[in-house]
Amino acid sequence: MLQMILTMTGVAALYVLLTVILWKIMDGRKMTWPVRILIGLVYGGCSVLSTHFGIQYAGSVLNLRDIGPLAAGLYFDPFSGILAGLIGGIERYIAGTYWNIGAYTRIACSVSTCLAGFVAAAMRKWLFKGKKPSAVYAFFMGAVMEVFHMYVVFITHRDDMARALDVVKVCAPPMVIFTGLGMATASEVLRAIAGEWRNPFHRAPKEETPVSTKFQRWLFAVTLTVLLVNSGFAFLIQTQSAVQSARKELDQISADILQAVRIEKENHGDIEAVGEILNGFRVGSTGTVDLINSGNRVTAGAHEGQILTKPVRMYAESAAKTGYFTETVFDENAIGKLTDLGDGLTLMTLMPTAEVYADRDAQAYETALADILLFTVIYMLISLLVQQIVVKNLQMVNASLARITEGDLNEVVDVRESSEFVSLSNDINQTVNVLKGYIDAAERRIEQELEFARTIQDSALPKNFNFPRHEFELYATMKPAKVVGGDFYDFFFVDQHKVALVIADVSGKGIPAALFMMRAKTAIRGLAESGGNANEILQRSNNILCEGNDAEMFVTVWIGIIDLLTGTMQCASAGHEYPVMMKDGGVFELVKDKHGLALAAMPDMKYREYELQFSPGDKLFVYTDGIPEAINEQVEQYGTDRLVQALNAVKDEQVDHILPSVSRNLSAFTGNADQFDDITMLGFTYFGPEENALPD
């Protein structure tokens, strides 16, 4: 047996090795028809070799021929499996018919191998959907095909069930086990290579277990229980029937012999010819009839001259309740009956238990194999139906729900295979419609609130650009990327002859940036109106904004305070964009000032102050990074060079014309590209002291 186990293990390992090698060769390659045919030929050839180099064991020949078409069909292509099965099956029939190789089982073997290819093809296409089966399914497939193989041995030898039973008893266990193990090992190795291996002994949490898997487990458990209970009852009934048949035959033989002995006594007055009488009777095909004297010696019959190992009375005691005994008599286990013939003689009729239970064993094996096949068919059909009727529809519902949860509220669940799924689809669609109504209402409410916020923010920015003064003119605009933004500008008189200009850009956009903008604007204006240089205003504003800045926002700021009498502007920058200045009669140019860190980034920061000297007619343009960092559809930035060019194109215009011109130029550049940042700009023209100011 050990040699058989080692040899079968080696053959299974060779199949696994071949499958892995072919899988590695085919990895990532297209399955063309020549490749399909080649794989079918390779595995078909392996099945042929299995036929001619079978493993001798207990008077029978074992092989793993069916692994060939199963592996080809399950792991590669349905056509390859069918081709391999036909090659192996047809050649097996030819070898059995013409070369007498396994002639007794040639039909069963041929049918099984041919069918293995078709079954593997069907399973790959409809059950596994082209995926690799798990080790459990692979083992199940291999084992069941060999069960079918053994069952066909029975149904093709109805006239010789005893020999068929002997063949099945010897061949079934090793061929079922090793075919299943070969398939399971190949499946696990391929899944490991593909990175799909999972520990088969690790039980996934309930929430991660598919409903199909749970159903299949319960179906397997229930069906297996029914199968075992049915087989057990059938076995018990068959056993009882066999015993009753044996006892009936023992009764009949004993009665016939007793009648013959009586006739002999009546005719001759004695039973000297009893030996001849016994020779005329036979119990079954292997049973015996013996005449035993009071000394426990067989005086006539099949065991004449032998002495019983136990006294007759002990056998009689065993048979006291039922009239029959089951003992080992003459080195053979048998069911027996004792009949007293008088004159100290006892008739013992025996039927070996091997003969008694021969038909039962054959029927039990055949019934078990048939039940396994029936169980497999039912299990596969129900699993497939559940997959098609329940799981497939659930997957369609889940796919629609996934699109809905991703934001596509226009998705409609339309699964109408049954009333339950129709109801589920309608309920989901109704829920989504109600949700859309709530969302629409919420969006309208938010839009109204944002509009209010925009109005408030807009009102916080100065809009009166007409001053009752003639020393300067200015103009400013702010276009938020969202309804509300984080940019702001401001201008106000610090004293009678000084005007402060402020432009700033808060990190982020939307409502958070707008709220931080209001806080920054209030702080800067309050500090500027209380007096102080530009750099001092930024230093003190920075410390104020750093307090309670849990959101870690910051703001870049440029501030300039111009003395209208002298034209001197004190400036400071907290990380803001370079201002652009034009001298009267000149062109706009960038003023690359010295930057400090943005406000609210770090407390106690120092900021440098610098001066710009204005002469009558000089102009200043300040802006936020929404202008130079604006991009077009080709993802190109607008940049400061284009900004300066746009300014110089209208440098002689008034600032309330210059800013709209820049805005139009920027829009022409960006085209249909989205605005991703706020766009704010402020223009200023200095005309000199009141007495030198230009007329209206």
Q: 285: helix, coil or strand?
A: coil
- Cβ atoms within 10 Å, residue 437: 10
Q: Which residues pair with 492 in a beta bridge?
A: 500
H or E stretch covering 349? strand 345-352
Contacts of 45 (CB under 8 A, 6+ apart): 87
Rounded to an integer, what distance in angstroms lies between the CA atom of residue 153 and that of residue 191?
A: 35
State in words which class domain 461-692 has: alpha beta
Burial zone of 127 (CB within 10 Å; 0-12 exposed, 13-18 middle, 19+ buried) = middle
Q: Are 334 and 351 in contact (CB under 8 A)?
A: yes
- Cβ atoms within 10 Å, residue 509: 20
Domains 241-359 and 461-692 share a fold: no
State in words which class domain 241-359 has: alpha beta
Rounded to an integer, what distance in angstroms lies between the CA atom of residue 42 and that of residue 666?
A: 70
Token readout for 571 is 């400036």
Token readout for 679 is 């766009």
Q: 506: helix, coil or strand?
A: strand
3-class SS shares of the chain: helix, strand, coil, % to 5: 55, 15, 30
Token readout for 411 is 């998705």
Instruction: State the pLDDT at residue 580.
Output: 96
Q: Please count the residues of the chain.
A: 696
Which residues of the chain are modeled with pLDDT < 70?
200-204, 207-208, 268-274, 483-485, 691-696
Instruction: State the pLDDT at residue 564.
Output: 93
Instruction: State the pLDDT at residue 204.
Output: 66
b (16+ CB within 10 A) / e for 466-501: eeeebbbbbbbbbbbbbbbbbbbbbbeebeeebbbb
Rounded to an integer, what distance in angstroms lies between the CA atom of residue 368 and that of residue 173?
A: 13
The rounded Cα 667 to chain-centroid distance in angstroms is 49
The rounded Cα 222 to chain-centroid distance in angstroms is 26
**Domain formed by 2-202, architecture:** Orthogonal Bundle (1.10)
Q: Which residues pair with 506 in a beta bridge?
A: 555
Burial zone of 512 (CB within 10 Å; 0-12 exposed, 13-18 middle, 19+ buried) = middle
Instruction: State the pLDDT at residue 691.
Output: 61
Cα distances (angstroms) measured from residue 593 to each of 67, 274, 309, 589: 82, 139, 124, 12
Whole-structure pTM over 0.85, yes or no?
Answer: no
The model's pLDDT over 472-491, given as tens digits with 9 standing for 90+, comes to 999 999 888 776 667 899 99
Q: What is the gyration radius of the CA atoms in the chain, in angstroms?
A: 50
Q: Indicate the domain borders of the chain.
A: 2-202, 241-359, 461-692
Instruction: State the pLDDT at residue 696.
Output: 44
The rounded Cα 167 to chain-centroid distance in angstroms is 43
Cα distances (angstroms) measured from residue 557 to each of 501, 517, 567, 624, 685: 11, 11, 22, 9, 20
Instruction: State the pLDDT at residue 455.
Output: 77
Cα distances (angstroms) measured from residue 232 to each of 96, 170, 235: 36, 22, 5
State the chain's mean pLDDT as an integer. 88
Instruction: State the pLDDT at residue 410.
Output: 87
Contacts of 639 (CB under 8 A, 6+ apart): 628
Q: Which residues pair with 326 in a beta bridge?
A: 335
Rounded to an integer, what distance in angstroms lies between the CA atom of residue 467 and that of residue 459?
A: 18
Q: Which residues pair with 562 in a beta bridge?
A: 499, 569
The model's pLDDT over 422-448, given as tens digits with 9 standing for 90+, comes to 898 899 999 989 988 888 888 888 777
Find the largest Cα–Cα distance for the chain: 174
Q: Are 659 and 476 in contact (CB under 8 A)?
A: yes
Helices and strands counted in the chain (H then E): 18, 17
